[in-house]
Structure 1
C-alpha cells in the first residue's frame, strides 16, 4: 500500500526533447554539475509548460538553450522513465530543419557528435533507448 501511495504522489515531468540532426551527427549538451543528472550529456530540451503543446515547448526550449529556430520537427519516440525521486515523460522529436547554429546559450557545453560515437558519452539512463533507436535507424 505504501509504494502505491508514494508512486501516486511522485512528481511527473513532461519534457520535450530534440534530436538535432546534421548528416550523421547530432548536437548534444552537457548538464551542469549542480542539477539532477549533472555532468551527463543529453539531447537538449526542457519542460513542457501547462499552456503549450510538445512542438511549441521544443521550439521554445531550443531557442532559449541553443539559439536556434526550429523549422520542422517530427515525433521520434516517447519514453517513460522513473528516476526514483521523479518520473519523466520524454516526448522526443527529430529536428532536421532549423536556422542558426546551435551553441550553449545558458553556459552549458555543447558539441556535434557522430551518431556512432554517442555510446562513448555518459547519458542519463532515460536517454539510452534514444541512442539505441538512433543507431538502428540511421547507422
Structure 2
C-alpha cells in the first residue's frame, strides 16, 4: 500500500511573558541573560542563548540554543534564525559563557558571529550584540567594536 501523505508542520510562539523589558545597552542584555544561565554551571560548561527583540528593542523572548562541553558548544545558525522568524524579531542579541573566565573572543566565536550576522542581514534581522559572560564579568562585541 502506498500513501501520499505529507506531514504537517506546526510551529508555535506565544507571548505569555512580559514584553516590556527594554534593552538599551549591553548591561541590560546581560542582566536578562544572567537570569537564564545556570549560575551553578556558568564556570563549568558552555551554553549559548539568543535574545529576540521587537523594533522598539523590547524583549520578545529568549531561547537556549545549545549547552555542551567545557570549552565549546555547537551553534546552528538555522535554529537561531528560525526562532527569530517565528516571533517576528527585528533584532537579536547573542550570549555564551566562557567557563575559563577568559573573556577574549576566540577565532571560533568570531567565525560563528560572522555567520549569524550574514544570515541575520539576509533576513533583515539586526544582530545587535554578542556577549561573552563569565560568572563575574562580560565582554560585549558591540561595545568593543568587534561587531
The structure showing larger relative contact order (alpha-carbon pairs under 8 Å, at least 6 residues apart) is 1
Structure in which a larger fraction of residues adopt helix: 1
**Taking structure 2 as the reference length, what is the TM-score of the superposition?**
0.29
TM-score (norm. length: structure 1): 0.30
Q: Which has the larger radius of gyration?
A: 2
Q: Which has the higher strand share?
A: 1
